[in-house]
Amino acid sequence: MKILVTGALGQLGSELVPALRSLYGASNVVASDVRADANQEVATSGPFEPLDARDGVAMGDIVRRHGIRRIYHLAALLSAVAEREPQRAWDINMNALFAVLEVARENSCSVFTPSSIGAFGPNTPKDYTPQDTIQRPTSMYGVTKVAGELMCDYYSRKYGTDTRGVRYPGIISNKTLPGGGTTDYAVEIYYAAVESARYDCFLSGNTYLDMIYMPDAVKAAIDVMEADPAKLRHRNAFNVTAMSFCPEEQAAYIRKHIPDFEITYTIDPVRQSIADSWPNSLEDYAARVEWGWSPEHDLETMTADMLNVLSTRR
């Protein structure tokens, strides 16, 4: 199985690429990214191609040259950046996906596309948000995510392209920082706890959001693509979650390891209003039944692992 990953130097790519390389062989996983600073592990531990994912011609060339059969399309702007630059967010999030789907259609590739809790909106049921429900997001990020979900379903129905994906909650990791998301606080808080035992949070203390630890996020991406297609009733945008918590609760779990940890709040109105429009907690029954989704980490084990990894790295 030859695989192309777009956005490979981002938060998810920098941990998914090594996992894919150890599973399918380093030479079979081509990492690509628009950034020129391609000297990170993913760019040196196997094939790397510089690629602006909006460039379908260049992508088609890479796919044919390497005999690619599966594309993990991770290149996208996150919610807070997208809200600052909505035109650029539409351009990158939609045109790159369109290029990927066309290349996949022409070259018979399967496609993984991450959607997000951001695909939901203020009218969505907030607790145990069902798989199939009203969405109508109000952020530009959410608009591109819903449109992306529909485009992936369309290519599957119309052309038989094997499109699959999950709706990720906030992803927490310790290798590469997320860039400009609403859930970034839940990552920053661990770095700050280890550095200075204090964190000034940009969301209010009682804002509940779904989260997932990176090893589970990587597992979801691999497992949904390896799932038996006969068992998939949905294809794209499976709700997946591992935990739901608010900053106050996360701080309490950090205090079990760093008792004098302090959290303060300086609310960012843009990110707070995005967070308020998203669900408190997802229901991920379809993913569990259709392809065996089952996360391994909860807030307690993730907090212990994050603090352990970050403090040994200091």
Q: Which residues bind ligand SER (CB under 6 A)?
A: 78-79, 116-118, 141, 168, 170, 181-183
Which of 21/145 has CB closer to ligand SER? Answer: 145
Looking at residue 193, its amino acid is A
Nearest to 102 by CA among 166, 54, 65: 54
Q: Which position has the token pair 């990587």?
A: 218
Which of 141/155 has CB closer to ligand SER? Answer: 141
Q: Which helix (H) or strand (E) holds 206?
A: none
Which of 16/30 has CB closer to ligand SER? Answer: 16
User: Nearest distance from residue 9's CB to ligand SER, in Å?
Assistant: 17
d(CA 143, CA 124): 14
Looking at residue 185, its amino acid is Y
> Is 159 a known active-site residue?
no
Which of 15/162 has CB closer to ligand SER? Answer: 15
CB 96 within 8 A of CB 113: no
Looking at residue 137, its amino acid is P
User: Nearest distance from residue 80's CB to ligand SER, in Å?
Assistant: 6
Which of 60/180 has CB closer to ligand SER? Answer: 180
User: Nearest distance from residue 79's CB to ligand SER, in Å?
Assistant: 3
Q: Integer distance in angstroms from the first to the last C-alpha of the chain?
A: 38
- Cβ count near 160 (within 10 Å): 10
Among the listed residues 72, 141, 168, 199, the single catalytic one is 141
Nearest residue to ligand SER, by Cβ distance, number only: 181
User: Nearest distance from residue 295's CB to ligand SER, in Å?
Assistant: 16
User: Nearest distance from residue 168's CB to ligand SER, in Å?
Assistant: 6
**Residues annotated as part of the active site:** 141
